[in-house]
């Protein structure tokens, strides 16, 4: 007979007591967080184990890492009910978890409840809370928390100050950041590299590069500070100062890193200087600095800006050869470049390969593709991409919607475009001014100017304000349908609204006046440009030169052209075609030959429009006098 203590019934009533180390091992090893949580609860209810502060901490940390904050709150409450003390480390974990989950407001509530759990806040708790608030841009809440920290008699450390510096700089309060640096020094808390880099970087972003350089001289040089200075100079395309700064780094014993080189290389590509970018790429290799995916993406962007598609694709192949794994940014750079040159087949091929490689397309990818299809007027391609995006669970943003509005307008599907804007409101994706500008442009291009005016008048209902582009698109549409009265009223309204007309506005107005046989008014407006401090461009000059010729004032057009040529302005194919067209309209065929010859001498190849004008004029002459011959020189050159 078994002793009473060893009976099966007693074994059930007195289960084997579990060790803390066994429970911790199981909690840490279980990959499925839900299974781990169920185990935590079941083992606590089994009677074989009483949870300890450490088992609670491990489970809370795991739940927090997965952003399961309801579970975290449940366990905190359970600890309170079980009278289990909470450590400083535990609340560090909880505040970090709320930051990870993007719930700084809940982190703040938990922070204020710490004393209910028998735990007093420390400097580290305050720092983590301030960092959580900063991460969600809740800048207005940071100063009160900092004030409470000082009231509690806690001395801020360098981490605290760095969070405050970042908050001030995010708010463009660089003056306040300067004062805070002084306060740090006065309190014996030496600013570190992060402190100075934060302020230097902010000054550069605000265009105050000289002030940033002066500040940088006050402490030992570091790579992040030099990178911030280089970024500021490159943002202003100030390569004359940026490149010597690279040499200065080396002289001071600071080795440039991949960010340093890529910053300069990217800026050079932005201005189309791919050749010098390649020189920097070579320099990277010589210095033993391996380029990263961003370096190559910058080169791809630069080649596309220069229209060198094959070279861009060659760089893409080089990425693979170098062993770099293309990320979504690199893929998007290539797709954007291909879309910009109208190579949609290759762009779709890259996006397909992107998904096969496990790199998931994002909303920017789909927006680029839809925009590419829109510019080529391909409604089917845009619609298929839109449907694929929705199927893949990627939600369109305002950019995507705007691209889709564009393609619908280009296909004269204005009702569908209007419905799409209405659906944006249902999806809580508010249209912006660019969306309406796109719709207004499409309506004007399709001759639906009345609808465009109505849309213009109701933009504020959607919370969108008119900008210079809105007015320009509508003015262009009004002039195209010869509605001068409303166009002039709109121009006056624009100035009264405080929106300053730009060169595009004046070009539209001048061209509109010329179309309406109001050359004198066009010339008056042209004369106002210099008074307004606006420099005319090729479009302006071409409009005026063509207008002079059209109204029989070719000699004045020649004088303007010669005056512009004297100051270095070079006429283009539009200039010459406008001149020839105007001369032919007044049957001055012989003079048009002269400008055709000049055009060819300057290496400008006539287009079909140029030849069409000449041929029409030639046949008109044949009808009048029987025959007309082109000069031999023109025929030979042609």
Which DSSP string do the residues of 515-539 spell out, in sequence order? HTT-HHHHHHHHHHHHHTT----HH
Closest by CA to 598, choosing from 631, 566, 574, 634, is 634
Distance of CA 607 to the CA centre of its chain: 37
> In 10 A of CB 547, how many CB atoms?
25
What is the 8-class DSSP label of residue 591? H
The answer to whether 292 touches 262, Cβ cutoff 8 Å, is yes
Q: How high is the pLDDT of residue 387? A: 94
| Annotation: CATH topology of 11-153 | 1.25.40
What stretches of 446-550 show up as alpha helix (H) in DSSP?
A: 449-457, 468-480, 484-496, 503-515, 519-531, 538-550
The answer to whether 232 touches 197, Cβ cutoff 8 Å, is no
Most confident of 6-15, 38-47, 414-423, 621-630: 414-423
Closest by CA to 508, choosing from 480, 548, 546, 533, is 480
Residue 542 has pLDDT above 80, yes or no: yes
Q: How far apart are CA 32 and CA 14, in angstroms?
A: 30
Q: How high is the pLDDT of residue 174? A: 85
What is the 8-class DSSP label of residue 6? G
- Per-residue pLDDT reduced to its tens digit, 21-41: 888 898 898 889 899 899 998
- Per-residue pLDDT reduced to its tens digit, 64-75: 898 899 998 899
The percentage of residues in the chain with a pLDDT greater than 90, rounded to a whole number, is 31
Angle at 308 between CA 302 and CA 312, to 5 degrees: 65
532 — phi, psi (to 5°)?
Answer: -80, -5
Residue 1 has pLDDT above 60, yes or no: no
Mean pLDDT on 193-205: 87
Sign of the Cα torsion 326, 331, 333, 338 reads: positive
Q: Is 432 helix (H, G, I), strand (E, B) or coil?
A: coil
Q: How far apart are CA 284 and CA 300, in angstroms?
A: 17
What is the 8-class DSSP label of residue 139? G
Q: How far is CA 274 from CA 283, 292, 330, in A?
A: 14, 17, 17
Rg (CA), the chain: 35
Residue 260 has pLDDT above 60, yes or no: yes
Angle at 33 between CA 28 and CA 36, to 5 degrees: 60
Q: How far apart are CA 28 and CA 40, in angstroms?
A: 11
């Amino acid at each position: 007979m078994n002793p009473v203590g060893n009976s099966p019934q007693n074994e059930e009533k007195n289960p084997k007591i579990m060790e803390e180390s066994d429970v911790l091992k199981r909690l840490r090893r279980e990959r499925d967080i839900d299974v781990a949580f169920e185990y935590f609860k079941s083992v606590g209810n089994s009677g074989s184990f009483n949870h300890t502060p450490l088992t609670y901490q491990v489970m809370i940390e795991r739940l927090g890492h997965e952003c399961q904050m309801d579970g975290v709150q449940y366990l905190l409450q359970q600890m309170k009910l079980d009278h289990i003390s909470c450590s400083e480390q535990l609340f560090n974990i909880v505040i970090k978890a709320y930051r990870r989950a993007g719930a700084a407001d809940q982190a703040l509530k938990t922070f204020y409840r710490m004393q209910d759990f028998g735990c007093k806040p420390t400097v580290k708790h305050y720092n983590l809370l301030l960092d959580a608030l900063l991460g969600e841009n809740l800048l207005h809440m940071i100063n009160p928390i900092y004030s409470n920290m000082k009231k509690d008699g806690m001395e801020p450390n360098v981490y605290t100050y760095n969070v405050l510096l970042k908050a001030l700089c995010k708010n463009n309060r660089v003056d306040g950041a300067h004062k805070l640096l002084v306060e740090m020094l006065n309190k014996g808390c030496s600013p570190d590299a992060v402190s100075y880099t934060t302020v230097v970087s902010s000054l550069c972003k605000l265009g105050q590069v000289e002030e940033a350089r002066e500040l940088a001289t006050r402490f030992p040089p570091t790579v992040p500070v030099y990178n911030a200075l280089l970024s500021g100079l490159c943002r202003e395309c100030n390569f004359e100062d940026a490149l010597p700064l690279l040499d200065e780094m080396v002289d001071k014993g600071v080795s440039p890193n991949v960010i340093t080189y890529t910053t300069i290389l990217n800026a050079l590509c932005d201005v189309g200087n791919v050749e010098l970018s390649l020189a920097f790429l070579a320099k990277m290799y010589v210095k033993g600095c391996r380029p990263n995916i961003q370096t190559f993406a910058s080169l791809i962007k630069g080649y596309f800006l220069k229209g060198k598609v094959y070279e861009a694709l060659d760089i893409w192949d080089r990425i693979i050869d170098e062993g770099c794994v293309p990320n979504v940014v690199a893929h998007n750079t290539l797709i954007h470049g291909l879309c910009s040159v109208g190579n949609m087949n290759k762009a779709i091929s890259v996006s397909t390969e992107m998904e096969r490689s496990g790199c998931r397309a994002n909303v920017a990818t789909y927006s680029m593709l839809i925009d590419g299809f829109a510019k080529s007027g391909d409604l089917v391609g845009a619609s298929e991409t839109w449907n694929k995006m929705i199927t893949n669970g990627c939600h369109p943003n305002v950019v995507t919607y705007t691209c889709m509005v564009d393609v619908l307008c280009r296909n004269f599907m204005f009702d569908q475009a209007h419905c799409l804007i209405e659906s944006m409101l249902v999806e809580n994706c508010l249209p912006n001014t660019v969306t309406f500008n796109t719709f207004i442009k499409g309506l004007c291009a399709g001759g639906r100017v009345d609808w465009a005016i109505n849309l213009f008048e109701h933009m504020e209902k959607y919370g969108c304000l008119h900008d210079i582009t809105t007015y320009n698109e509508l003015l262009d549409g009004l002039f195209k349908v010869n509605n001068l009265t409303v166009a002039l009223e709109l121009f006056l309204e624009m100035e009264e609204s405080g929106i300053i007309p730009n060169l595009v506005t004046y070009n539209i107005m001048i061209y509109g006046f010329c179309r309406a046989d109001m050359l004198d008014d066009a010339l008056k407006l042209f004369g106002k440009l210099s008074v307004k401090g606006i420099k005319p461009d090729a479009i302006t000059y071409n409009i005026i030169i063509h207008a002079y010729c059209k109204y029989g004032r070719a000699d004045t057009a020649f004088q303007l052209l010669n005056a512009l040529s004297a100051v270095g302005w070079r006429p283009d194919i539009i200039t010459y075609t406008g001149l020839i067209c105007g001369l032919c309209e007044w049957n001055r065929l012989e003079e048009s030959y002269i400008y055709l010859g000049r055009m060819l001498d300057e290496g400008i190849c006539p287009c079909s429009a140029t030849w069409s004008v000449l041929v029409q004029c030639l046949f008109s002459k044949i009808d009048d006098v029987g025959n007309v011959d082109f000069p031999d020189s023109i025929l030979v050159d042609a």
